[in-house]
Amino acid sequence: MNIELIKFFIKNKFVSKNKEKRKFILAGILNVFLTNLSLQIFLLLNLFSISISTFLSQLINMTFGYAIYSKFIFKVKNSKNKKFIKKYILLMAFLWISNFLGIKIGGLFGINTNQSALLMIPCLAVLSFLIQKLWVFK
């Protein structure tokens, strides 16, 4: 009976974690698509500097992301809690700076801004998930 209980616990623990990751990935794909689409448009039209373009796209990411990640992924009961919002804003500032620097560094290696922005997506997504799970919504 103890073995069955252990199997049940392990199965439920891993299934729920994988489900959370899958939901985050799906929501993240949508969020990244919207965010990167806006960033690509800003960069292509050259309306703003790179820092302003990444900042504006990060605002889109932050607004949409907080709504879906807090409620549907990490199941925060009180998503209007200032503690979560402050941590999320700090995370977004960190990701914005990382994105800006990544694009600039890509330029130093001869990679154009649009390609650099695309290359930053997986790095920023992994960082975002880990920090949200381990710090923001903990």
Average pLDDT over the chain, rounded to an integer: 84
Q: For residue 62, give Cα distances in angstroms to 12, 43, 67, 89.
A: 31, 19, 8, 8
* CA–CA separation, 75 and 67 (whole Å): 11
- pLDDT tens digit string along 12-29? 544 455 677 788 888 888
**So where are the chain's domains?**
2-136
State the pLDDT at residue 9: 46
Q: For residue 120, give Cα distances in angstroms to 9, 72, 76, 84, 138.
A: 37, 25, 28, 25, 26
Per DSSP, 137 falls in state T
- As a whole number of angstroms, the longest Cα–Cα distance in the chain is 66
**What pTM did the predictor assign?**
0.69
Statement: residue 73 has pLDDT above 80 = yes
Query: What is the 3-class SS of 51-110, one letter each residue?
Result: HHHHHHHHHHHHHHHHHHHHHHHCCCCCCCCHHHHHHHHHHHHHHHHHHHHHHHHHHHCC
| pLDDT > 90: percent of the chain | 34
Structure tokens, 97: 């700076």
- pLDDT tens digit string along 31-72? 878 888 998 899 899 989 988 998 898 789 888 889 888 888
